[in-house]
Amino acid sequence: MDRRDLELFKNVFVDLDPLGTGQISIQQMWPYFKRNRIPDAKINLFMNTFDHDNDGYITLDEFCRVFSVSRAEVLGQTVTYETRSRVASGLPAGIKIAQLCIETLGSTSVLKDVPRNIKTSADRMFNNLWHIVMVNGQFWCYYGHEPGYSFVFSFEKYIFVVWKTPAM
């Protein structure tokens, strides 16, 4: 393992754990590695190197131990996201965003107004520059976002794509 592997695996860990739960699973890694054209051998290397208790999960602590790095070194800006995004209920911002989307979907009578109402609330609750896409069916997208501020989830027949544009 060298520094290039550290950078690769650091990016994988942060990308696969946007809510800061501190663990990722092998089930999360396969599609990610395929999508990013990372060789299968790297997944096996990843699991064999980091999953010491063979439970199918890699924790942030296991990851840090292997490279002898701190949590802050791995997470970089995500540490500030994790600290900043905790709300009074103790839930990360991603969960609050999902709740906001679901509540707004249920309380808005005109479907096309749902994304606008979510954005207005998200901007007020979590500062400006939020974008909301609500989809019914397949979709493809490509966008830039602030690290730790991109959420994609489904509820009933809708898919929500929510992200925050990086502050300039």
pLDDT value, residue 19: 63
pLDDT of 77 > 60? The answer is: no
User: Domain 3-75 carries which CATH code?
Assistant: 1.10.238.10
Domain ranges of the chain: 3-75, 91-164
* Mean pLDDT across 85-99: 58
Tokens linked to 35: 């999508």
81-87 own/partner pairs: CB under 8 Å, 24+ apart: 81/20, 81/146, 81/147, 81/148, 81/149, 82/20, 82/148, 85/20, 85/126, 85/148
Look at residues 25, 39, 148 and name the one whose alpha carbon lies nearest to residue 94: 148
pTM for this structure?
Answer: 0.46
Q: How far is CA 39 from CA 14, 30, 33, 42, in A?
A: 19, 10, 7, 6
* 91-164 CATH choice from 3.40.50.300, 1.10.645.10, 3.30.740.10, 3.40.50.720: 3.30.740.10
Name the pLDDT band for 112 (thresholds 50, 70, 90): very high
Whether the per-residue pLDDT at 113 is higher than 90: the answer is yes
* pLDDT, tens only, 122-163: 888 877 788 999 998 888 888 777 777 788 888 888 889 998
Q: Could you tell me if 163 and 145 are in contact, meaning their C-beta atoms sit under 8 angstroms apart?
A: yes
pLDDT at 24: 84
